[in-house]
């Protein structure tokens, strides 16, 4: 099934992710075609084991597809091949007591194997893979924010310090921005409280602020309200949707809670590693109306600016003509 929208921020085409477990191939993702536009809030639903978290890992470049392509804002997202197991030689022994006799030749043979195979393997495979993994890390640092089910706040740091720590990990420190995102999630005046002094919903809002501190273009959530009651879940989701709209952030959220679809612009269903459904969410019409209103407002501003420039040009021309006339009269006199 192909899920597509024009002007996509992220685009996956023919993405597969296969694992080998116990000699059996597990098709975690089996031919995913998906496009998500900037500013969308997408709810990703499906039974356990359907591939939702694996898809988030691919989108965030925490994992690489076995095959297929993933583009973000028109650019190919870096990926790295799966790690390969090291080859080892083992000499079978008929009795454990004979292990002392087989160990020395095993060690010598494995050393020879390492010299013959592992050094070229390191140069041809391990070094390039390390470089690609670094590029994947750079992509996440520059573009992706992640909110987990568990808050993962450091208990000996205040809310503000938790947010600033995330900034420092990503290569910067901006206290003003940290206070701004805490204010956006409704925690103004609580920045100096420790996690133990905050409710579960407030701690999750700190986690959301932490993910927003670096101004990501893509926000991913994996069961981010799984530990919250229904009332707190509603508060957190309202804050999240409002911030995403204000900051023009695209969000993809994995959830088993069907009531959260009212906060989404799209609801995508997964099963057995495939996309099996795509429907408008509860906010699809509202977002479309708001997009239209913003477009009309921008057009109106453009018209007004042009009119002001035109009137200004006419006035400037008239004033120039008057001054030139007065100058000519003075010269004649």
Q: Is residue 94 part of a domain?
A: no
Closest CA to 237 of 268, 190, 205, 212: 205
137 and 182 belong to one structural domain: yes
47 and 152 belong to one structural domain: yes
140 and 128 belong to one structural domain: yes
> pLDDT grade, residue 133 (50/70/90)?
confident
The total number of structural domains that make up the chain: 2
126 and 6 belong to one structural domain: yes
Average the pLDDT over each of 119-123, 174-178, 311-315 and give the range with the smallest value. 311-315
Sign of CA dihedral 108, 109, 112, 118: negative
pLDDT above 70 for 86: no
Given this model, what pLDDT does residue 267 score? 95
Q: What is the mean pLDDT of the chain?
A: 81
pLDDT above 80 for 316: no
Average the pLDDT over each of 95-109, 235-249, 291-305 and give the range with the smallest value. 291-305
192 and 269 belong to one structural domain: yes
Task: Measure Cα distances from 65 to 24, 59, 60, 158 in Å.
Answer: 18, 10, 11, 38
Q: Is residue 95 part of a domain?
A: no
pLDDT above 70 for 140: yes
163 and 207 belong to one structural domain: yes
Q: List the alpha helices (DSSP H) in the chain.
A: 52-59, 99-113, 119-121, 127-143, 159-169, 175-184, 200-212, 230-247, 284-332
Given this model, what pLDDT does residue 169 score? 83
Structural domain for 298, as ranges: 286-324
Closest CA to 169 of 213, 208, 218: 213
Given this model, what pLDDT does residue 106 score? 73
131 and 265 belong to one structural domain: yes
- Encode pLDDT of 285-302 as tens digits: 555 545 555 444 455 555
User: Looking at residue 185, which CATH number applies to its domain?
Assistant: 3.40.50.300
Mean pLDDT on 66-72? 95
pTM: 0.72
């Amino acid at each position: 099934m192909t899920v597509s929208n024009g002007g996509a921020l992220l685009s996956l085409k023919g993405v597969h992710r296969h694992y080998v477990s116990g000699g059996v191939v597990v098709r975690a993702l089996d031919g995913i075609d998906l496009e998500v536009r900037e500013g969308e809030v997408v709810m990703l639903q499906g039974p356990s084991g359907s591939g939702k978290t694996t898809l988030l890992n691919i989108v965030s470049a925490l994992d690489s597809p076995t095959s297929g392509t993933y583009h973000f804002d028109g650019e190919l997202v870096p990926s790295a091949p799966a790690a390969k197991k090291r080859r080892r030689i083992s000499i079978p022994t008929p009795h454990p007591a004979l292990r002392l006799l087989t160990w020395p030749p095993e060690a010598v043979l494995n050393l020879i194997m390492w010299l013959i195979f592992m050094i070229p393997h390191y140069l041809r495979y391990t070094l390039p893979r390390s470089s690609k993994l670094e590029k994947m890390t750079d992509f996440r640092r520059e573009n992706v924010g992640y909110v987990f089910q568990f808050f993962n706040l450091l208990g000996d740091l205040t809310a503000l310090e938790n947010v600033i720590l995330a900034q420092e990990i990503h290569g910067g420190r901006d206290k003003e921005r940290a206070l701004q995102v805490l204010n956006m999630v409704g925690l103004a005046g609580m920045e100096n409280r420790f996690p133990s002094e905050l409710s579960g919903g407030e701690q999750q809002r700190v986690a959301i602020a932490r993910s927003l501190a670096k101004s990501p273009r893509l926000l991913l959530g994996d069961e981010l309200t799984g530990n919250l009651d229904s009332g707190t879940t509603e508060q957190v989701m309202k804050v999240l949707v409002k911030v995403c709209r204000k900051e023009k952030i695209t969000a993809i959220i994995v959830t088993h809670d069907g009531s959260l679809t009212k906060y989404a612009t799209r609801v995508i269903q997964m099963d057995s590693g495939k996309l099996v459904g795509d429907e408008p969410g509860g906010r699809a019409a509202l977002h479309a109306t708001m997009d239209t209103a913003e477009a009309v407002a921008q057009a109106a501003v453009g018209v007004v600016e042009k009119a002001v420039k035109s009137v200004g040009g006419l006035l400037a021309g008239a004033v120039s003509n008057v001054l030139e006339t007065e100058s000519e009269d003075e010269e004649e006199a």
